[in-house]
Amino acid sequence: MNNACGFVLAAGFGTRLRPLTSRLPKPMIRFFGAPLLDLALFRFRSAGISDIAVNAHYLAKEIESGLKASPWGEDVKLSIENPVILGRGGAYIPLRNWFGKKTIVAYNGDIISDIDIAAALAHHRAMRATATMVVLPKPLGRDNAVYCADDGRIGTIAKTPPARGGPWTARGFACLQILEPEFLNFLPQEGESDILDAYAQAIAGGHTVTSFVHSGFWHDLGSPTQLLQAHVDLLESGDVAQKKTVSALGLDAYHGANHSRLLMIPPEKVWKSPANNLSVRGPSSVVTGKDIFTALQAKVELGPLVVVESGFSASGPFKASRCIIYGSAVIDHKAVHDNAIYDHSHEIRCERA
């Protein structure tokens, strides 16, 4: 896409997602078998954006390895923040020369969405905006609300609406923003900073700061409960919507490029492994590689609402539903629970959303 570049924010510690992030940074956590970083890169590539940067700090080598392994990681600029993380604003400054005069489309590496990046960018340019936030129809409970006027103009990002103007509609930040290069002038030119301070300065200075509403698939994957709920929501979305979303997110493209297979099992249908050691009842999903559960010694019955990757092992037979089982999981069959996530050495119990 002419005169635009992409930026994946991937430096965070993933504290709320622990212990899943004890060995992997958040953008390398898999969603239906695909790392979030790959899906973010796919979203940019599919929108016609070929110039892409990614920042890293926590477990930066994992991000670097992820880029090398990604089908969309070629020629991606990696900005490693050392010795300290630079925050939501400071992350832009080391890349300022690389951004040049291009419009910056910044995407948080810990979300999953089918935001129409091309449409958001077209809106940004039609409004001749200095900055555009993609927003959700309703505010997010734990965060400041984005208060928007009827024409999309943003009045403030805060807990309460502006005292003047309006009427104001409270919306939630969808973790994608579009910035003109001059917006970076509102940031300190070194050290850690918060981009919300720059937004406040831009708004106070009369610059056009606008919003673009996204009403499609969107999830913040900041905690284990949110990660599990995002999987469940896609499984329960219905056949037509599910196929559209799987394609839009890049899941089909990722598995096709990596010679793996994503099977979406409809409600009430049962998939069985070739060795008949695993049965999975829909709505569920199975991610298979070269080994189609051939190493699984126990008889396992899963579903509904399960996403399972091939490669996991179990100490004995068990049943489970509403869970994610990663391929690295080693499961104690005497301590299996529903509503959980299993990785290489953890059972993470999740709350009901």
How much is the pTM?
0.94
State residue 295's pLDDT score.
62
What one-character-per-residue DSSP string does 32-61 give?
TTEEHHHHHHHHHHHTT---EEEEE-TTHH
Third-level CATH fold of 4-220: Spore Coat Polysaccharide Biosynthesis Protein SpsA; Chain A (3.90.550)
Query: What are the pLDDT digits (tens) for 126-185?
Result: 999 999 999 999 998 777 899 999 999 999 999 999 988 879 999 999 999 999 999 999
Residue the block writes with tokens 């030119």: 189
Comparing 184 with 2, which gets the higher pLDDT? 184
How distant, in Å, are the alpha carbons of 155, 202, 213 from that of 206? 10, 7, 22
Residues of the chain with CATH 3.90.550.10: 4-220
Query: What are the pLDDT digits (tens) for 185-239?
Result: 999 999 999 999 999 999 999 999 999 999 999 999 989 999 999 999 999 999 8
Contacts (Cβ under 8 Å, ≥6 apart) of 106:
6, 7, 8, 9, 92, 176, 177, 178, 179
Residue the block writes with tokens 């919306």: 171
